[in-house]
Amino acid sequence: MKINRPIIALDFPDREHAVRFLDRFPQDEHLFVKIGMEMYYGEGQDFVREVIARGHDVFLDLKLHDIPHTVHAAARVLGKLGVQLTTVHAAGGQEMMAAAKEGLLDGAAGQRIPQVLAITQLTSTSEEQMHREQLIQASLQESVLNYARVAQQAGMDGVVCSAHEAAAIAAATAPDFMRVTPGIRLAGGAVGDQKRVMTPDQAAANQSSAIVVGRAITQADDPVAAYRLVKKLWEE
Ligand code: C5P
């Protein structure tokens, strides 16, 4: 399953900046935006509801990781919001991931049930660090693939991963298991703190199911034009 619209990472310091960004788009443009910890902790559920009320789809990226009972309770709260996508850490285990799914289902109470993506190894984790701190002796790629399989068995809808890993994950999991990939840049754009980047068309060729694009759109001189360009490259 491919999500046709690029998902815009709404990484802003506060509601005012985020709304100013959204206001640049035509009112009837249905965007898919990612709300992360910074905006959620700062502006809370009211902001999520406001974005949905504006007609946008929301990927609420809070990366839950706790004991299954606590994650179930937290996911039940999030299930009521009407978001499309959420995230949990695969490192929390299959029981925890399944509890998240159940909690979302309970919370949604017949409304739209959010899909859940698993975080495998954070892209900020190096192989050396994984060996040293997690005592995982496999390669980073093997660990990512293992977590993807474990997440699929737990009933997750996909993983967040680097576009560089998408094809390998596609080969190791079912066709409808999603590969949602950040770290996207336009050719010639600033790389910033991302270490391994791909353009939207390269990500599509490498079997990403959806792309998450932040600064290449939000920090562009003309964000709407940048969005249209990313969308065109991704769709083609
Ligand atoms: O600005 P940029 O396009 O790099 O933003 C990417 C977004 O995706 C940010 O919200 C970042 O936190 C998120 N992300 C990431 N790498 C991951 C997981 C999430 O860049 N592995």
Measured in Å, how far apart are the chain's first and last C-alpha atoms?
A: 15
Share of the chain residues as helix, strand and coil, in percent rounded to the nearest 5: 45, 15, 35
Residue 190 pLDDT = 77
Residue 96 pLDDT = 98
Verify whether ligand 1 is closer than 6 Å to residue 194 (CB atom): yes
Q: Is the pLDDT of residue 123 over 90?
A: no
Verify whether ligand 1 is closer than 6 Å to residue 182 (CB atom): yes
Q: Is the pLDDT of residue 228 over 90?
A: yes
Verify whether ligand 1 is closer than 6 Å to residue 11 (CB atom): yes
Please tell me whether residue 189 adopts helix, strand or coil conformation.
Answer: coil
Q: Which of 63, 80, 101, 195 is catalytic?
A: 63
Residue nearest to atom 21 of ligand 1 (CA): 123
Residue nearest to atom 5 of ligand 1 (CA): 214
109 C-alpha vs ligand 1 centroid, how far in Å? 31
Classified by CATH at the fold level, domain 7-235 comes out as TIM Barrel (3.20.20)
- What is the CB neighbour count within 10 angstroms for residue 137? 9
Q: Which residues pair with 88 in a beta bridge?
A: 64, 118
Q: Could you read off the pLDDT of 5-25 as tens digits, one per residue?
A: 999 999 999 999 999 999 999
Domain borders along the chain are: 7-235
Instruction: Say whether 80 is catalytic.
Output: no
Verify whether ligand 1 is closer than 6 Å to residue 50 (CB atom): no
Residue 67 pLDDT = 98
Q: Which residues pair with 8 in a beta bridge?
A: 33, 213
Q: Is the pLDDT of residue 227 over 80?
A: yes
Q: Is the pLDDT of residue 112 over 80?
A: yes
36 C-alpha vs ligand 1 centroid, how far in Å? 9
Residue 110 pLDDT = 86
Q: Which residues pair with 115 in a beta bridge?
A: 85
Residue nearest to atom 8 of ligand 1 (CA): 182
What confidence tier does 189 reach under pLDDT thresholds 50, 70, 90?
confident
Q: Could you read off the pLDDT of 124-172 as tens digits, one per residue?
A: 889 999 999 999 999 999 999 999 999 999 999 999 999 999 999 999 9
Please tell me whether residue 119 adopts helix, strand or coil conformation.
Answer: strand
Residue 172 pLDDT = 97
State mean pLDDT over 165-187. Answer: 96
Q: Could you read off the pLDDT of 26-40 as tens digits, one per residue?
A: 999 999 999 999 999
pTM of the entire predicted model: 0.95
